[in-house]
Amino acid sequence: MRHETAGVTKSLIESAENEFLQYGFRDASMRRISAASGVSTNSIYTRFGDKAGLFRAIVKDAADELMGIYLNSINKASESMDVEHAVQEGTDGTNDVLKYIYQHKKEFQLIFCHSAGTEYEDYFDKLAAIEEGYYRIFAKEYTRNGRKVDDFFLHVYCRTGWQYVYEVLTHDKTYKEAQEYMSNVRVFNYAGWKAILGIDE
């Protein structure tokens, strides 16, 4: 009985994932999910409450775990004693984040691209806001020669950082392609930050 229940749950989750990926949360149909999975709509509502509950069941664990990984990387970078160490911690954190996202690619395609109308529609904004808070401290700590980094620049820069992730997901890049892309981004950004901070002047 437990094996049968597990099989039904797997079929339901897979059917729901495919429906949300194809139609997005708002236009997804519980009837189509029911038909594809062989699970009655009544059973789905009984177990998950509503469509939002079903979406949450698919993405919550991955979303919570990624947030933990990201906060840990931010904390490590914040404790750095110099800019080179901060950059290295940032690089390691980006690698950890990207690896985890690709281990749970469908979940994050749902969160980043198809979550409008759910509690996860502002997940991107929350990540960018955390990054912005870190970079405000980073900029104050490491600017030289009287330079000042504009707050609006930091705001846009940090949102753009997560936009890179959005782009590799929406364009369905492989993990290797995403790694190569992010490596180029890091090289580009590091050179830019050195100029903005006044390092090596």
Tell me, what's the pLDDT at 16? Answer: 97
Nearest to 114 by CA among 155, 65, 58: 58
Distance of alpha carbon 24 from alpha carbon 193, whole angstroms: 37
| DSSP codes joined into one string, 150-189 | -HHHHHHHHHHHHHHHHHHHHTT--HHHHHHHHHHHHHHH
- Evaluate if residue 33 carries a pLDDT over 50: yes
Percent of the chain with pLDDT over 70: 95
pLDDT in tens, 110-131: 999 999 999 999 999 999 999 9
pLDDT at 7: 54
Q: Is the Cβ–Cβ distance between 25 and 17 less than 8 Å? A: no
User: In the predicted model, is pLDDT for residue 6 greater than 70?
Assistant: no
Q: What is the mean pLDDT of residues 57-76?
A: 96
Identify the band that residue 8 occupies on the pLDDT scale cut at 50, 70 and 90: low
